[in-house]
Amino acid sequence: MGFTMKNILGSDERLPLFVRLLANLSALMVIALLLFPGVGMAAASPLMKECLLKEMEIGGDKMTLGGLKALCQSKLDDGGIAHVAKEPNGVVDDRLDMDTANLKNPYTLMAHRANYIMVAHNGKGFGEEVFQEQYSNPTIDLDDTEVQFQVSLKFPLAVDLFDKNIDIYAAYTNRSFWQLFNDDISSPFRDTNHEPEAWVQIRPDWEVLGFKNAVNQFGFVHQSNGQGGVLSRSWNRLFANFIFEKNSLAVRLKPWIRIEEDKEDDDNPDIEDYLGYGEISAAYKWEGHTFDVMVRNLFESSFEKGTVQLSWSFPLGNYEHFRGYVQYFNGYGQSLIDYDRNVNSLGVGISLTDVL
């Protein structure tokens, strides 16, 4: 398209420091939430408790706790509590209602994508050659088992623009791959992917083939691994994200266009051959379980360089703060360092927040 990240942010050299600061800030905030889970959450008022009890008595079976809280908060803000439950939301509407309720509290952090840690992530296909070349050390050997975690947070920049359902958000996602069990090379991070993004969000409330178009997003995303030399990976995209729901099922269509870079600055000119031009995903909630599937680059690559990711989060007894998490990945682009390598992996761990 004839322009680079330098035209947008002024200097590519500032990005590594910027994303490192975001990463450190995000990690500190997540640690604070884990150590002090009550931070950012005010105690429920008597009126709120009364509303929750009444809505649980008369509401539909598909109403989630988040949806009930958002409904009662809305009624309290309107000056009273009406004792009539609204029609049950779909799973995407429930998530959007929770976000709307959280907007009223400036001290609340909102999850963007899934937040998880897989303490036993075993994979085949990790590339060692690029590290051996970077450090001129042919003895570098990567373990098949490592720790993978993702931290993903978002915050509003502007809400309810023009008295319409139009909002502007920014977010930061960190996905890290940690060779924790590899004592031979001092347990380094194999790769850390930084992904800041910003978008405009609209809630059109249309219906298509029985599915409600719950929200559409249009934005910009930068993704890089903050490395230099032969380890450097980065790309910039403009994206759209169309999200549809029907009861407990949510479907997402996310096409993107890469912003071209100068050839001498492009660390991975063929990345679209492996990650394609978009992805399709679907998530389903059932009795406390969340199932998610994502596919990309299947048809564009004639099924030669396609990617499939399956994940499942599930309750851990009556414990409310963590959930069990299992993820299977087969294909390209799980990490930027190995975007052009076929990785087959299975991980088990815990989930802090789901996609829904």
- Give how far the C-alpha of residue 118 lies from the chain's centroid of Cα atoms, to the nearest Å: 15
- Give how far the C-alpha of residue 2 lies from the chain's centroid of Cα atoms, to the nearest Å: 29
* Cα dihedral 336, 311, 356, 177 sign: negative
Measured between alpha carbons, how far is residue 315 from residues 115, 131, 248, 288 in Å? 15, 39, 17, 6
Catalytic residue among 112, 121, 194, 222: 222
Cβ-Cβ contacts under 8 Å for 28 (sequence gap 6 or more):
none
**Annotation says 222 is catalytic:** yes
| CA diameter of the chain | 71
- Torsion angles phi and psi, residue 2, rounded to 5: 90, 5
**Annotation says 26 is catalytic:** no
Rounded distance between C-alpha atoms, residue 296 and residue 281, angstroms: 9
| Two tokens, residue 228 | 């230099």
Catalytic residue among 26, 152, 176, 224: 224
Q: Could you tell me if 175 and 347 are in contact, meaning their C-beta atoms sit under 8 angstroms apart? A: no
Rounded distance between C-alpha atoms, residue 162 and residue 305, angstroms: 44
- Bridge partners (DSSP) of residue 291 are 284, 312
Rounded distance between C-alpha atoms, residue 229 and residue 233, angstroms: 9
DSSP 322-350: EEEEEEEEEES-SSGGGTTS-EEEEEEEE
Rounded distance between C-alpha atoms, residue 220 and residue 237, angstroms: 6
Catalytic residue positions? 222, 224
